[in-house]
Amino acid sequence: MAKSKAQRFSPEVRDRAVRLVREQLPHHSSQWAAISAIAPKLGCTKETLRRWLLKAEQDAGGRSGPTSSDADRLAALERENRELKRANDILRKASAFFAAAELDRLTR
């Protein structure tokens, strides 16, 4: 099975790519020029590399936005919330079913 797009590149490759762009910035006229030169060598798109740079800046606190750990925690909490809502819905339906069955038993 092929890896999903999110998992195509390991965290080590992403870190190395970000480090390469930062090291090559003095040799290029802009950050985009450095990205454009490095991305094809890594086998990723320019936009992908740009997003890795933005996420690295957020994780380092240099740019506003959620860090990777915050985003992971939020996703886990949202997953847990969905599971709890499903469980509550099941319990509510079961309660109504048994209440109706008890009422039916009492009226016979």
Q: Do 24 and 57 share a structural domain?
A: yes
Q: Are residues 85 and 52 in the same domain?
A: no
The CATH number that applies at residue 36 is 1.10.10.10
What is the C-alpha separation between 11 and 30, in angstroms, rounded? 25
Residue 2 lies in a domain: no
Q: Judge whether 11 lies within some domain.
A: yes
Decide if 1 is inside a domain: no
Long-range contacts, stretch 35-41, CB < 8 angstroms, 24+ apart? none
In a shared domain, residues 92 and 75:
yes
Do 16 and 37 fall within a single domain?
A: yes
44 has a pLDDT exceeding 90: yes
pLDDT given for residue 6 in this prediction: 56
58 and 15 inside one domain? yes
Using pLDDT thresholds of 50, 70 and 90, give the confidence band for residue 1: very low
On whether both 61 and 72 belong to a single domain, the answer is no
Confidence at residue 5, expressed as pLDDT on a 0 to 100 scale: 57
Domain interval for residue 25: 7-65
pLDDT tens, 45-97?
A: 999 999 999 999 888 887 777 788 888 899 999 999 999 999 999 999 999 99
Q: Is residue 21 over pLDDT 60?
A: yes
